[in-house]
Amino acid sequence: MTIRIAGEQDKHKLDFAARNIYTLPNEEYRVLPSSQKDGDYILEVKTIRLIEPIIRVTVAEDMLTALVSFYPGINTDKKTKYQDVVLHLTEKHKISPGYIKEQPLKDAIELLNDGFIVENVLVCEGTPPVHGKDANIEYLFERPNVKPKLLPNGRVDYKEFTKFVFVDKDQLIVKRTPPDKGKDGRDITGNVIKAIEGVDKNVEVVEGVYSNLEKTEFRSKYNGHIVLSGDTISVLPMLQINGDVDMRVGNQRFEGTIQITGNVQSGFIIEADDIIVEGIVENADLKARNTIVIKRGIKGVINKGSIKSGGNVSVGYCENANISTGGELSIEKYCFNSTIEAASITAAGKDAIINGGTLKVFSTVHVSKLGSKNSGKMEVTLGYSPLLQNKADKVKVEINQLSESLQKISDVLSKLNLQDAKIQSNPKVKMLLDSSEAFKRRLPLLEKKYNDLMKKSVCYTPRVTVEEIIYPGVELKMLNISRTIKSEMTRVEFTYNDVAREIINKPIQNKEV
């Protein structure tokens, strides 16, 4: 008897079928090249055994598909019928008749009855579930970029230092597409496969934004600028002052952005979330919770006026300025004789220079020129955050005050017989006991806060990068280690070596163009 295999010819498959499906010993079969077609093979069987046609069904783990393999009978004229195979699938494998592919199954049975092995025929296929899509939140505006734009040549474009997103009243700013529930599927046995519903997402509004009832469209309540903080969105109205801040305008305090098209004259106070000054700031006090941009520069007098920001500060130039920022200070042109406290300083534009004054910086200074030929002593201190250390100092004061109060209460209570119920019920004693417990609970929290602030206030990898030249007289301090520059040095980087406890330098490699 001769058996062929349908589809791609493979003598190894015929050999596998003889050994493992029909369980024939070697002497009862041979795999031979076909005389009818080059590259084809046949299975020649010589046995007296009667073997019925074999059906093997493989059901996928997800119960969505079933593959059937057919193997012709040996020494029998019995033909396989379509209805018998359907009965086998439905009764033994519990497959629902509605998911059986009639034509592929009939084609396979026809080949089987012609003496062909037919393997892995997809004869049953269920309906997979369509899982729901998560809600989608689409912001219909360009996200703000609060850092200077880094150019391909490594320089910084200070014109792109900060970008506010301005919107008009009733402008559509956010679209929310609700989640889909999805569509259930069914496996080949007819069981329902539940779809996974999409996850909902909400637009968290703080202020200045309103929505429709379905919360699918969000619009600005008024003209202003967008502030994104995590998953929350706000539109803050902007106060624009056309011209100078002077006696005509007076001091300004505003929860939003203040934009000044002119100068800020000496003696005035500006407080806001963000401050933008198109002109010059004289001996004025500017305080912002977020960013300050002074496009022309600061022209001050030593120990008069101040610039304080919780975020980044960008200036064209600064003379005799007092600047304290929790973020980066970016200087476009120059900085002379100024007192600076910042997380980092960048003044790496062409010919940008910092000369004179004192710099206290948490992590990095990136500058074109530092010091000058004829300048005196200049201090650059790195490794500590003045802002965080000031916060830690305030917490330390509170700890000391709390400890002192707790000790005074303890001294008073130690003189009382607290076992006496009458004394315990005294309102003043009860107040002291309650205060003592409250102080004892608060003290460890303050100590933890103090320790956390002190840890965060230290940078163990301070760095000064000088793109062009550093002059003699500049004193670098990194983590209490000092080094005074004795001679001019060009294109050099200074870092702190923790092992040697010294400030080391290495040349800056030229970038490939």
Residue 348, pLDDT > 90, answer no
CA contacts within 13 A on the Cβ side of 371: 24
pLDDT in tens, 400-439: 999 999 999 888 888 888 778 878 788 888 888 889 899 8
Sequence-ordered alpha helix ranges (H) in 427-496:
427-456
Residue 513 lies in a domain: no
Which stretch of 137-151, 230-244, 316-330 has the lowest confidence by average pLDDT?
A: 137-151
Q: Are 379 and 362 in the same domain?
A: yes
Q: Are 81 and 198 in the same domain?
A: no
Return the pLDDT at 144. 54
The separation between CA 346 and the C-alpha centre of its own chain, rounded to angstroms, equals 25
CATH of the domain at 375: 2.160.20
pLDDT in tens, 218-228: 999 987 778 87
Residue 64, pLDDT > 90, answer yes
Residue 144 burial class via C-beta count within 10 angstroms: exposed 0-12, middle 13-18, buried 19 and up: middle
Return the pLDDT at 153. 67
Residue 251 lies in a domain: no
Return the pLDDT at 500. 85
Residue 130 lies in a domain: no
Q: What is the DSSP string of 327-393?
A: SEEEEEEEEEEEEEEEEEEEE-STT-EEEEEEEEEEEEEEEEEES-TT---EEEEESB-HHHHHHHH
Residue 86 lies in a domain: yes
Please give the Cα distance from 470 to 349 (Å, whole number).
15
pLDDT in tens, 385-409: 888 888 899 999 999 999 999 999 8
Q: Are 340 and 471 in the same domain?
A: yes
**Residues spanned by the domain of 56:** 2-125
Residue that finishes a domain, picked among 186, 212, 235: 235
Q: What is the DSSP string of 213-241?
A: TTS-EEEESSSEEEEEETTEEEEE-EEEE
Please compute Rg for the chain using Cα positions: 40
The separation between CA 202 and the C-alpha centre of its own chain, rounded to angstroms, equals 19
Q: Are 116 and 33 in the same domain?
A: yes
Q: Are 467 and 493 in the same domain?
A: yes
**Mean of pLDDT values over 369-390:** 88
The separation between CA 345 and the C-alpha centre of its own chain, rounded to angstroms, equals 25
Q: Where is pLDDT greater, at 496 or 253?
A: 496
**Mean of pLDDT values over 347-363:** 92
- Long-range Cβ contacts of 96-105 (<8 Å, 24+ apart): 96/188, 96/189, 96/190, 98/190, 99/124, 99/125, 99/126, 99/186, 99/188, 99/190, 100/124, 101/125, 105/68
* 362 neighbors 380 (Cβ within 8 angstroms): no
Residue 244 lies in a domain: no
Residue 438 lies in a domain: yes
Percent of the chain with pLDDT over 90: 62
Residue that finishes a domain, picked among 190, 215, 235: 235
438-465 burial code (b ≥16 CB/10 A, e <16)? ebeeeeeebeeebeebbeebebeebbbb
pLDDT in tens, 245-302: 988 888 888 777 899 999 999 989 999 989 999 999 999 999 999 999 999 999 988 7
Q: Are 80 and 19 in the same domain?
A: yes
Three-state DSSP state, 285 = strand
Average model confidence (pLDDT) for the chain?
88
pLDDT in tens, 37-52: 767 888 889 988 899 9
Q: Are 341 and 438 in the same domain?
A: no
Total structural domains within the chain: 4
Residue that finishes a domain, picked among 219, 235, 251: 235
pLDDT in tens, 139-156: 998 765 545 555 666 665
Short-list 11, 1, 27, 16, CA closest to 69: 16
Q: Are 75 and 18 in the same domain?
A: yes
Q: Are 502 and 359 in the same domain?
A: yes
- The secondary structure of residue 127, as a DSSP letter, is B
Residue 157, pLDDT > 50, answer no
Percent of the chain with pLDDT over 70: 94
Residue 491 lies in a domain: yes
Q: What are phi and psi of 436, to 5 degrees?
A: -60, -45
Residue 152 lies in a domain: yes
Q: Are 473 and 380 in the same domain?
A: yes
Return the pLDDT at 158. 40
pLDDT band at 162 (very low <50, low <70, confident <90, very high): very low
Q: Are 337 and 476 in the same domain?
A: yes
Q: Are 381 and 442 in the same domain?
A: no
Strands (E), 265-321: 269-272, 274-277, 280-281, 285-288, 292-294, 297-299, 306-309, 313-319
Give every CB contact of residue 261 below 8 A, 6+ residues apart in sequence: 240, 241, 242, 243, 278, 279
pLDDT band at 161 (very low <50, low <70, confident <90, very high): very low
pLDDT in tens, 72-123: 999 998 899 999 999 999 999 999 999 999 999 999 999 999 999 999 999 9
